[in-house]
Amino acid sequence: MPENRREFLLLDEVARECRASVASVRYWIASGRLRSVRPGRRRLVSREDLERFIAKGAQPPAVPRAAAKGASET
């Protein structure tokens, strides 16, 4: 791969690499913790941005229970 080309990952690939759910990845993107681009219908994360996100420290918490789809009040 030429040096000037960036590698991009789909959200499910990012989730697999972080050992998290796709919902968590979407939350990190929505909260501004992880950068992404949307060149068409798909949302992509560059390998560089993912490595920077991981290097910042411990993995942020997953999606808060209240924000999770279908969460019921207990």
Type of residue at 69: K
> Quick one: pLDDT at residue 6?
77
How far, CA to CA in Å, does 20 sit from each of 17, 39, 62, 63? 8, 24, 7, 10
What pTM did the predictor assign?
A: 0.70
Segment 3-13, tens digit of pLDDT = 667 799 999 99
Q: Domain-by-domain residue ranges, the chain? A: 8-55
> Quick one: pLDDT at residue 52?
93
Segment 46-68, tens digit of pLDDT = 999 999 999 986 555 556 655 55
Per the CB < 8 A criterion, the answer to whether 36 and 73 are in contact is no
Per the CB < 8 A criterion, the answer to whether 14 and 50 are in contact is yes
